[in-house]
Structure 1
Amino acid sequence: MSSSPVTMAAAAKIAKIAPSVPPTVIPVDVTTNLNDDNGDAVIVVAPFTGDVEGVPAAHIDAIAAIDASAKSKGGLYLNEAYAGNRLILAPTGPLTSDGDDVRSFADAAHAGVVRAKAAGAKAPILLVAGAVPAQRVATFAKAVESALLGALSATYVPVEVREDPRAPPSASATLDRLLICTARPDIADVIGRVVAIEAGRAVSRDICGGDPERMAPLRVAEYVEELFKGTNVTVAVEKGPFTEAYPLLAAVARCSEQVPRHAPCVINLEYAPANPEKTLFFVGKGVTYDTGGADVKAGGIMAGMHRDKGGAAAIAGFMRTVSILAPANVRVVCKMSMVRNSIGADAYVADEIIHSRAGVRTRVGNTDAEGRMAMADVLCKAKEEALSAVNPFLFTVATLTGHAVRAYGTGYFATMDNGPALAANVSALVATAGLSIGDPAEISTIRREDYAFIRSKYVTEDIVQCNNLPSSGTPRGHQFPAAFMIATSGMDKHGLCSDKPIPYTHMDIAGATQMWPTPVSGTPIAALTETFL
């Protein structure tokens, strides 16, 4: 029996062409010489509002004399005093606005590396220099770290390109190495930490950015198993059916699991040092493709929904960073809820009433609110494990709502706490640490209105999952989903006034993850690393 073209195309996608796991992070070396023979270009990241240490003022003045935009827009200039005879100015801007933050260094370094690659450079030297305003020194304390992260992000090669022998060479062109020019005594530690963060962000980009077939649920499991094989992280993959273990997740998966290659799974990762002082539990939304289900995403808004697995991708990436840094005092458990929200005859529909793992009668209001369904029961499982864990903190991480994007724009993730987490200042700590490294968050609050919104409207259910409007058109559209997950998982029994309070923080990363074709950001890996590691 011959295969249909659709089946053959799917098989070609599923076939492992040339596995490339884990994604490579280029080496970062140190030099104190801007004309180092190992380099072939120099990228200067600076405000260019005064002297730039290491670069004679005469050189910059000569450039400005022939290019009035050099200090504000940058460019590549011929100068034999620098490696490869190439001098690239990458301006941060003057950094005098109250709104400026350390991302200016990341953006400038990223642009500088993109320019260096376009010029054919393979080993540029990065110099982060120039004085920042005295009033803003603390804001830019991690300028070097941010610049390195920005530079490295420009060297990422997507997994589809790495595994496709037919991809043109230009698609995989990147640097061989990066050098940083500095005499900082702690630079080795800085590089090690930055490379660990970038290694995690590269994993996040692979999984989140991978197309719906390359990163179907079980293929993500294969990727993660390969990623952590032989490391200090254990991997256990739960396969469906999930009707008993995770009934809300099972409802979302009911249609997609009819197609074997789209079958759901829950991927459990654990890093367990001998004597942890705290335990971090993460549940990540891993919707490998979101059609909206029966409440279909019509009108051309479905494209790009392969990135609705950004939460699961982020926690897998964070675990990669954890594995590399190997902290002695933190145990980390990640649970990736991998499912495809398909549309078809067996798709779950609005008005179904499903009992959650915690026994909560849940009425479906909108099948396009599948992410909270995919996570709630897995959060319940994490809660059960947290009861016997050392100093537990629970998190959900998800590209959950358009409302978070509408509220805060792109480039920021929303973070919000239950009572115990608020008392521990979890979101505040994450936001402060994230901003310091260029991975900023906005703090939201779970209010009484959010719990009222999901409260039963009739005797047949305890909780209503959603209304039938887009989140972006619903007041408090990114806060009430957190209340839903608290209620359906049984986390409402572990609030501040309970016998066993458990801190829980929800992170909606929809605005920060970035939509295709913008590269996946890898948020909130840097923020989490700075906060907890």
Structure 2
Amino acid sequence: MATPQVHHLTSFDAVNNSDWDALIVIGNSFAQLPEKLAQEVEQAKQSDQRLANSTQLLISESVPGKRLILAPVGSLQEDYDDVRRYYDAARQAARLAVEAGSTRPVIWVQDIPANEAFNNAIAVSFFGFCQELYEPLEACEHFGDEKIEPVTDVAFIADELNSQWLNAVESGRRAARDLCGTEPERMAPMRFAEYCKNIFANTAVKVSVIEDRMQLEHEYPLLAAVGRASFSTPRQRPCVIRLEYTGSGDIDETLFMVGKAITYDTGGADLKTGGHMAGMSRDKGGAAGVAGFVKAVAELNPENLKVVAELGAVRNSIGSDAFVSDEIITSHAGVRVRIGNTDAEGRLVMADCLSHLREEAIKAVKPSLFTVATLTGHAALSKGPYTALVPNASAQLSGATAHLMQASESWADPTELSPSRREDFDFVRGHTKADDVLSSNNGPSATTKRGHQFPMAFLTISSGLDKHGANSEKPLPYTHIDIAGSGVDTGDWQHGKPSATPVLAFAGRYLV
């Protein structure tokens, strides 16, 4: 589906073009408006106090389409104010613009504080605007793009604007939203793979799909166990989608990324009950975010970066062949895993992918490894709408964690730190000589102490990354990223719009 194309205008004088049909002003005082327009706004404020604190539409002969939309961001004086004020204001403006019938608006971002935290206010406004415009893939396919998403272009009045970068990153965010939010039949494992093939066609990203049962059982045994009851249903068969991009220049840095794509999470034999299954088609948000970032990479073609991603696409169907708690399954890394709860399936799907990438990372230039997943209710409970970063010591010592956190704040895709601790590793260690590691306890993560941190310990041990700690011969920086609280707007996993996290955080860190 089409992403609105962004254009650059250097001044308000360039707006008087019949092709544009609205002016959206995002700011606080609106004092930068031309004198005549500023007077109109001041007069309107005298009779409508809403203009000071909520997004409103004015009819004005001085702007294209006679539509003037004012989107206040507030004073920005509080310690907790950040660049998301612009993101949110742009979303509100987008909603009103569409309702008013605008299809080619101009946006003027004003009153940007002289503060480093707000350096990306204009770009962030574009991303917020597009987030609000987005409609589900199923709706676009049913009604048609033009009807369901009428805004085709958006222009910004700014001294400087990197339109190519904005368009590229937003194309990645759109892909992430499509992959995450689409219902479980339209985005079943092989159709998830098909979507990836389509968006990377004619790009420098190589796409390969592993779907053969024998190969999966041999090379991805934990993933194959999760999908064991799905092999007999062709449309629900599991697969691993591998994406690989290599820049044309000398490689300075290599990113290895694993994404969880549970296309529908039933809970498996430990069935989700009490209505908790609704919304579980979004349990593929981690893989969606990884694919979205790689899509941005494909559009920008950075010369000195290599990115390798493996996405585990599985449905943990229920049936006579479903895997169950107490099974002991040997991972790709040769680690004996005892299953504690089949509803803790995401970490199993990612562990073997992470093991494969670990083997490649050992030989790579400046490697960093990441797992991205909508993994635990505990992350949503403890972090609210923020992404949880659970790094190992190497990631923290190398500065990788700090740089990613800084980028996430600057680009309105904020993260919070949850360091891995010794208690997490103690929690998952095998309880008998029959097993090396326990996948989970048998209670909900939300009521388990350190419920979103201990899965990182499991992933570290089951993938063999515990042999590559900070004091090892070959340290490998690794960060587990839990987006269970940040993956959809408002935390509504059945109806909320996918947020496309952590595409902006990664793009701000590695693509600028």
Q: What's the counterpart of residue 452 of structure 2?
A: 478
Where do residues 32-431 of structure 1 align in structure 2 (5 Å cutoff)? 32-33=11-12, 34-48=15-29, 51-54=31-34, 56-132=37-113, 137-164=115-142, 167=143, 172-182=148-158, 184=159, 186-187=160-161, 189=162, 191-241=163-213, 242-274=216-248, 275-410=250-385, 412-431=386-405
CA contact (8 A) 1:161 1:171 kept: no
CA contact (8 A) 2:175 2:292 kept: yes
Q: What's the counterpart of residue 10 of structure 1?
A: none
**Secondary structure, counterpart of 2:244 in structure 1:** strand
**Secondary structure, counterpart of 2:208 in structure 1:** strand
- Mapped to 2, the partners of 1:204 and 1:120 lie a distance apart of 27
**Secondary structure, counterpart of 2:291 in structure 1:** helix
**Secondary structure, counterpart of 2:218 in structure 1:** coil
- Once the two structures are superposed, what CA deviation does each residue of 1:66-110 show, in whole Å capped at 9, x if it has no partner? 211111012101111111111111111211111111011011111
1:178 deviation in Å?
0.8
CA contact (8 A) 1:377 1:489 kept: yes
CA contact (8 A) 2:55 2:89 kept: no
Q: What amino acid does structure 2 have at the position aligned with 1:176?
A: T
Unaligned runs of 5+ in 2: none
Q: What amino acid does structure 1 have at the position aligned with 2:301?
A: A
**Secondary structure, counterpart of 2:195 in structure 1:** helix
Give the TM-score normalised by structure 1.
Answer: 0.91
Q: What amino acid does structure 1 have at the position aligned with 2:129?
A: A
- Mapped to 1, the partners of 2:112 and 2:297 lie a distance apart of 33
Q: Which moved more, 1:51-60 or 1:97-106?
A: 51-60
Give the TM-score normalised by structure 2.
Answer: 0.95
- Mapped to 1, the partners of 2:284 and 2:144 lie a distance apart of 27
2:498 to 505, 515, 520: 520
Q: Which runs of 4+ in 1 moved over 3 A?
A: 52-57, 167-171
How many residues align? The count is 500
- Mapped to 1, the partners of 2:412 and 2:157 lie a distance apart of 21
**Secondary structure, counterpart of 1:42 in structure 2:** strand
Q: What's the counterpart of residue 5 of structure 1?
A: none
Q: What's the counterpart of residue 452 of structure 1?
A: 426
1:30 deviation in Å?
2.3
- Mapped to 2, the partners of 1:366 and 1:383 lie a distance apart of 26
**Secondary structure, counterpart of 2:117 in structure 1:** coil
**Secondary structure, counterpart of 1:97 in structure 2:** coil
- Mapped to 1, the partners of 2:440 and 2:230 lie a distance apart of 22
1:290 deviation in Å?
0.1
- Mapped to 1, the partners of 2:89 and 2:335 lie a distance apart of 50
Change (3 A) 1:349 1:171: farther
- Mapped to 2, the partners of 1:223 and 1:169 lie a distance apart of 17
- Mapped to 1, the partners of 2:431 and 2:222 lie a distance apart of 19
**Secondary structure, counterpart of 1:243 in structure 2:** helix
Q: Which moved more, 1:307-316 or 1:24-33?
A: 24-33
Change (3 A) 1:414 1:258: same
**Secondary structure, counterpart of 1:321 in structure 2:** helix
Q: What amino acid does structure 2 have at the position aligned with 1:144?
A: I
CA contact (8 A) 1:218 1:263 kept: yes
Q: Which moved more, 1:66-75 or 1:397-406?
A: 66-75
- Mapped to 1, the partners of 2:381 and 2:167 lie a distance apart of 32
Q: What amino acid does structure 2 have at the position aligned with 1:92?
A: V
CA contact (8 A) 1:157 1:174 kept: no
CA contact (8 A) 1:51 1:131 kept: no
Change (3 A) 1:120 1:245: same
CA contact (8 A) 1:351 1:364 kept: yes
**Secondary structure, counterpart of 1:414 in structure 2:** strand
**Secondary structure, counterpart of 1:315 in structure 2:** helix
- Mapped to 2, the partners of 1:176 and 1:246 lie a distance apart of 43
CA contact (8 A) 1:456 1:464 kept: yes
- Mapped to 2, the partners of 1:490 and 1:83 lie a distance apart of 60
- Once the two structures are superposed, what CA deviation does each residue of 1:217-247 show, in whole Å capped at 9, x if it has no partner? 1111111111111111110111132221111
**Secondary structure, counterpart of 1:244 in structure 2:** helix
Change (3 A) 1:54 1:477: farther
1:54 deviation in Å?
4.2
- Mapped to 2, the partners of 1:27 and 1:527 lie a distance apart of 21
**Secondary structure, counterpart of 1:139 in structure 2:** helix
1:59 deviation in Å?
2.1
1:53 deviation in Å?
4.3
Q: What's the counterpart of residue 3 of structure 2?
A: 25
- Mapped to 1, the partners of 2:34 and 2:309 lie a distance apart of 45
- Mapped to 2, the partners of 1:82 and 1:326 lie a distance apart of 38
Q: Does 1:436 align with 2:414?
A: no
Q: What amino acid does structure 1 have at the position aligned with 2:38?
A: A
- Mapped to 2, the partners of 1:344 and 1:54 lie a distance apart of 68
Change (3 A) 1:169 1:448: closer
- Once the two structures are superposed, what CA deviation does each residue of 1:497-531 show, in whole Å capped at 9, x if it has no partner? 11111111111011111123111111111110111
